[in-house]
Amino acid sequence: MSFSICVAQCTDSLASSMDDQARIMQSIGGVSLSGHSVQGGMALPPPHGHDGSDGDGRKQDIGDILHQIMTITDQSLDEAQAKNRKHGLNCHRMKPALFSVLCEIKEKTGLSIRGSQEEDPPDPQLMRLDNMLLAEGVAGPEKGGGSAASAAAAAAAGGAADSSIEHSDYRAKLTQIRQIYHTELEKYEQACNEFTTHVMNLLREQSRTRPISPKEIERMVGIIHRKFSSIQMQLKQSTCEAVMILRSRFLDARRKRRNFSKQATEILNEYFYSHLSNPYPSEEAKEELAKKCSITVSQGVGSTITVSQVSNWFGNKRIRYKKNIGKFQEEANLYAAKTAVNAAHAVAAAVQNSQANSPTTPNSGGYPAPCYQSDGRIQ
């Protein structure tokens, strides 16, 4: 109907005047304000068929006013030149009459707001995105909370999350994403507000020459907001994607593999070679080892070692030892000697004149233990 055409054209002209937000505006410009689709640029149908009782002069007047309305709305609105015309229009002697006619037409055509789609149920997709962004620390509080949240997320996802160098790198990248996200979001919000106030002013202005209920304006605002939030959703989506990529790059355990510290390896090797007959530590033993390695490591630079890492280590060690015993003989001798010395010390401390016949693990049925001779050569 003509009302929607008027406003739609206004919004179009408004859109073209705000070139920096052209993309956003464009997607909104196509929205019919009354909920009807609008064929843009369509000429206003002549106001005929209402009453034939008027004289030619009166018809002429109404025609003039309508023409003025059209020309005003066709132009950009912030022009001072339009002011004069608008003023002239408002003071036109036929204005009240036309206004009431417009009201009547509006009523008849049922354009007054249908209370449709008042409540829009929260989009599950949007909620998912929101939750994820919140969990990743992208959305939500700026500094402290954000990093804490991201750390928590990392800990939750990575299991063995270490707080070392590459983690801070990850955080830096995450902060970068967050900044971009927030500036973009702010931009959209600002554009949305600007556009909304613009349209509201426009409608308010127009409500002097044609009937526009506050509810209609409200509805219009709702439509604009929905449009903008769909744009925001795109932003959120791409932000989520970026975070996911970042996460897979940095938090994938395989990618962030760090070698264990020398001390940790030493502890594990000590256990392995001193239990060569049965190098299968129990759950408790693994925990013990993990704790020991972590404690040793915590004094230097490194990460804590978990039970599952200990399991991995023993799994790898067993298979690699078995595969190539010769390669490990040197190492085996080293640790055998070490445990022997340790044991000797222990024994010496306990029994002073003990001759320390090294009580190395007796080996029965396990992996072949290296037997080394006095010259250090393997037999």
Partner DNA sequence: CACGATGATTAACC
Partner DNA sequence: GGTTAATCATCGTG
Closer residue to DNA (CB): 36 or 322: 322
Q: List binders of DNA among 17-36 (CB under 7 A).
A: none
Quick one: CA dihedral 101, 107, 109, 114, positive or negative? positive
Alpha-carbon distance 259 to 265, whole Å? 9
* 9-29 per-residue burial string, b: 16 or more CB within 10 A, e: under 16: bbbbbbbeeeeebeebbeebb
Per CB under 7 A, 157 contacts DNA: no
Q: List binders of DNA among 105-134 (CB under 7 A).
A: none
Helix (H) or strand (E) holding 52: none
Which residue in 242, 6, 218 sits closest to 112, CA to CA?
218
Six token digits for residue 377: 């050569």
> Which residue in the set 4, 147, 196, 311 belongs to the binding site for DNA (CB under 7 A)?
311
With beta carbons less than 8 A apart as the criterion, state whether 330 and 370 touch.
Answer: no
Distance in Å, CB of 201 to DNA, minimum: 55
Alpha-carbon distance 267 to 265, whole Å? 5
- Mapped onto helix, strand or coil, the DSSP state of residue 113 is coil
Distance in Å, CB of 305 to DNA, minimum: 8
Closer residue to DNA (CB): 195 or 271: 271
Distance in Å, CB of 225 to DNA, minimum: 43
Closer residue to DNA (CB): 74 or 331: 331
Q: List binders of DNA among 314-343 (CB under 7 A).
A: 314-316, 318-320, 322, 327
Closer residue to DNA (CB): 74 or 162: 162
DSSP letter string, 323-341: HTHHHHHHHHHHHHHHHHH
Q: List binders of DNA among 217-276 (CB under 7 A).
A: 253-260, 265
Six token digits for residue 115: 């209370």
With beta carbons less than 8 A apart as the criterion, state whether 153 and 136 touch.
Answer: yes
Closer residue to DNA (CB): 108 or 257: 257
Contact map string, positions 270 to 309, toward DNA, x by CB under 7 A: ----------x--x------------------------xx
Distance in Å, CB of 282 to DNA, minimum: 8
CB count within 10 Å of CB 134 equals 15
- Mapped onto helix, strand or coil, the DSSP state of residue 378 is strand
Contact map string, positions 42 to 81, toward DNA, x by CB under 7 A: ----------------------------------------
Distance in Å, CB of 168 to DNA, minimum: 14
Q: Which residues bind DNA (CB under 7 A)?
A: 160, 253-260, 265, 280, 283, 308-309, 311-316, 318-320, 322, 327
